[in-house]
Amino acid sequence: MAEVIRNRPLAEILADYVVGPPPRAPLKANEHCRHYSYRNTGIRGFMRGDPGGPQCAVGIDNTEPGGTAKCMPPPYCEGRPCGRREEYTEDERAAWKAHVRRAMERSIVAGSAIPREGDSGEVACPACGEGRILWARARINGHLHATCTTPRCFSVMS
């Protein structure tokens, strides 16, 4: 986030924001194999004995300890790459990077609307231009919970 602020002044980011709901996320085209995904079941899944974990869309077991190393490119695969690994395309990777950057900017823009003091409140969301940001700050430790009413727009727990 600091890098985004350093590279682009906040006023420029704010001015650049097109009012509207956030777009759907593109493929998460990171360094993992394109068959890799992670199933996150959260604390509820863990409590009911379903902790989730790494998945492989072509059915190779990557759940053993350290088993996802083979899903990464060298040097992270530790000399044992998976023979079924397939890359995302450069276009897919570029789209994902742009999405991540945009999401960071969205967080900065939306977060800038939350008052620095106070226990709780509701403000218009400057990022999507149509939602309301509901926020609450814990008196005991200052932790902030905030979320925009527009789906996929903005939420934070800090």
**Which one among 8, 28, 35, 102 touches ligand SF4, defined by CB under 6 A?**
35
Cα separation of the two ends of the chain: 14
Q: Minimal distance in Å, beta carbon 7 to Zn ion?
A: 23
* C-alpha separations of 74 from 60, 71, 112, 151 in Å: 19, 10, 40, 37
**Side chain identity at 104, as an amino acid letter?**
M
Chain positions 119 to 148 lying near Zn ion, rule: CB under 5 A, are 125, 127-128, 131, 148
Binding partner selected for residue 58 from ligand SF4, Zn ion, none, CB under the kind-specific 5 to 8 Å limit? ligand SF4
User: What DSSP letter does each residue of 41-66 carry, written as one string?
Assistant: -HHHHHHTT---EEEETT-----STT
Q: Is 29 in the site for ligand SF4 (CB under 6 A)?
A: no
Q: Is 71 in the site for Zn ion (CB under 5 A)?
A: no
The two three-digit tokens of residue 150, written as one number? 């527009």
Site residues for ligand SF4 per CB under 6 A = 33, 35-36, 56, 58, 60, 62, 70-71, 82, 84-85
Site residues for Zn ion per CB under 5 A = 125, 127-128, 131, 148, 150, 153
